[in-house]
Copies of this chain bind each other. A is one copy, B any other.
């Protein structure tokens, strides 16, 4: 790893393109001055926004392209139109070529995943990549995956998710043996849970040194901070995280409405303003922005498309942390140890029989 953390940005991605990406990068740079950026996109749109930001201008290089992957492009369209030349592709390609340590894009998820898979390939031993996100809980944060990279999962894929998620939790939470739970529903003997049960059985019996499998977790326990890592397949994972976002917004709306109804409530609100500010801060969805693509030979971060500069900066922060604390090496290391532990278990089995 270079001394500086080098981040490639798809300057055109997201609902607002450079108008959010450039100020977002500037905020992230203030927090991590040891960052260097390569910005891919339309120079005519990027330059004017850079001019007002001398700090960013000094730390960033702009590479022009006028090909942009649109938010509504399907992955196949995006690959057809944007391969080799779009801002999204070039940001990923910079990681592939070793010119950047991570790529960040607010562009459309399907296209970003397709391009990342196509260009970076999955790590040896990993069948399918996943998207991991942060879930704010009463105890801090949990890593949640898969948030929608692929639908459905057999037991093997769920174990891969547990292994990769635990590596990410080691990076982020600085714990040696993160707790891992498998998301499940509380109904016994229902068809279709075989994969979850099988993965649970494997993780319990394997008793891996780098993750502490604590069993099934129901969705209402996630917010209590039941585990450092929550593992589920992509459809349910995406629905869980979006449900949490939606519910938080719904309650915030209700609270705002309730506090504006009477003069007593308004006065109460004024007095408790500091408390409300803290609450809003804790619930701020921008802070948990940044989906990490796991299982690829390179770090790619997906920012929400509709976020503001503060939210985009949070996604860049996630990329920075992943590079600084060597996520990829930790995943590789974990996979190796996993393979070794499995091999040893196999040998012992052979001796016993």
Tell me the A residues contacting B by CB distance below 8 Å: 74-76, 109-110, 113, 137-138, 148-152, 183, 185-193, 218-224, 232, 234-236, 238-251, 253-255, 258-259, 261-262, 264-265, 267-276, 278-279, 282-283
Contact = CB atoms under 8 A, between A and B. Distances in A.
Contact of A265 (B189, B219, B236, B272): B272
Contact of A76 (B113, B138, B189, B267): B189
B278 A258 contact: yes
Which 5 A-B residue pairs are closest in the complex by CB-CB distance? Answer: A268-B272, A151-B192, A268-B271, A220-B246, A223-B250
A188 B74 contact: yes
Most B CB within 10 A of own CB, among A223, A250, A270: A250
As for how many copies of this chain the complex holds, the number is: 2
A218 B242 contact: yes
B239 A232 contact: yes
11 contacts: A74-B188, A110-B188, A149-B187, A185-B234, A185-B242, A219-B240, A219-B241, A221-B246, A235-B236, A265-B272, A268-B272
Contacts of A271: 264-265, 267-268, 271
B267 A238 contact: no
A148 B279 contact: no
A155 B265 CA distance: 49
B224 A192 contact: no
Contact of A74 (B189, B238, B270): B189
A70 B278 CA distance: 44
